[in-house]
Amino acid sequence: MKHLIKPLSGAILAAFAATAAPSVFAQGKDLKVALIAGKTGPLEAYAKETEVGFMMGLEYLTNGTMAINGRRIKVIVKDDQSKPDLGRTLLAEAYGDDKVDLAVGTTSSGSAIAMLPVAKEYKKVLIVEPAVADAITQEKWNKYIFRTARSSMQDALAAASTLKSGSVGFLAQDYAFGRDAIEAGKEALGATGSKARVVHEEYAPATTTDFTASAQRLFNALKDKPQPRVLAIVWAGPNPMNKIADMKPERYGIALVPGGNILPVMKTWKSYAGTEGTIYYYYAFPKNKMNDWFVAEHTKRYKMPPDMFTAGGMAAASAVHAALSKAPNAKNGDEMVAAMEGLSFETPKGKMTFRKEDHQAIQPMYHFRIKKDQKTEWDLLELVREIPATELPLPVRNKR
């Protein structure tokens, strides 16, 4: 298989975003996909990575033609600014006015949750990427919702699998993502057989810059508890790990346990060599043909390897490509749902599969250690172990 290696030009990107063709799965008609992301606002770095990965994924999977069986794929990109009301409006616009056949989005869990009823109203598929809140594939789910992104519980199960005993304190953002993640974290400890005990949960506004009070409450709660004592940080956006570390938690025998983050954030963790955590994706871990191309091509174009949200975008593109290839003549969303249930597709992480019960993509995760000897700017992590999906007992809770 040959793949284009030239960067996508502005003209080509503009063509991808065109919206002229009708949305009927008939031979020769364009296939239209909406990509909704929070391109402005607090999560814009994640959204921009998702878009890059999505477009590169379609390029790779179509050999650069941006077509499936001679039918062009048109991508309509919309910015919901991570605002739930706007996300809901833009998805309705995509289904109703733009007549897209599939939609992908969005960055914020709050906005994604607001979009779910719109997919049900229009009876069209929404592939959620990269929002992680468990509610998306649990109590807020409907049959038109599929998710390539990992869920909070998948994150939590991966982290819990590395902690067998001791005491845990959590620091998280005080909104849907943070509270959802901590609830999942507490449950995951039990599900994986860990004997570790959660002794304190600390929630701070997403805009917090001074973590002194929060950190001190966590230190006080942990300092006399059984070892190992860990402070787990779950945070989207600028990460507070360095600020917490400056307060010297090691005085109390407390170790910081970071969740995986984007490369520019993890790049600031060099002084924490030996610290371990878990992550959705790190470019050097998966070994497969798609990831090899992805890493080489992204590095060539952007002077750095692909990041975790870039990989998520590519996974979503692969799901779209697989769905449209399997059901090119689907007449409606119900037929597309039937084609996608149980669907497997290749991603930079390897194969993912949409579980039939709740349409969550089942996938591996990674246990990492921050490297002591970092040979290059982005040589940050070493692989402790790939955690297979079979070791992540993800519950089904969508009341289908």
Give the pLDDT of residue 28.
Answer: 65
Q: The whole model's pTM is what?
A: 0.86
How much is the pLDDT for 29?
Answer: 87
288 close to 350: Cβ distance less than 8 angstroms: yes
For residues 377 and 134, the answer to whether their CB atoms sit within 8 Å is no
Domains of the chain with bracketed CATH: 10-150+285-363 (3.40.50.2300), 153-279+366-391 (3.40.50.2300)
Tens of each residue's pLDDT in the chain, 400 residues: 434 434 444 433 444 443 333 333 444 689 999 999 999 998 999 999 999 999 999 999 999 999 999 999 999 999 999 999 999 999 999 999 999 999 999 999 999 999 999 999 999 999 999 999 999 999 999 999 999 999 999 999 999 998 889 999 999 999 877 888 888 889 999 888 889 999 999 999 988 999 999 999 999 999 999 999 999 988 876 778 889 999 999 999 999 888 889 999 999 888 889 988 999 999 999 999 999 999 999 999 999 999 999 999 999 999 999 999 999 888 899 999 999 999 999 999 999 999 999 999 999 999 999 999 999 999 999 999 999 999 999 999 997 7
- Phi, psi of 130, rounded to the nearest 5 degrees: -105, 15
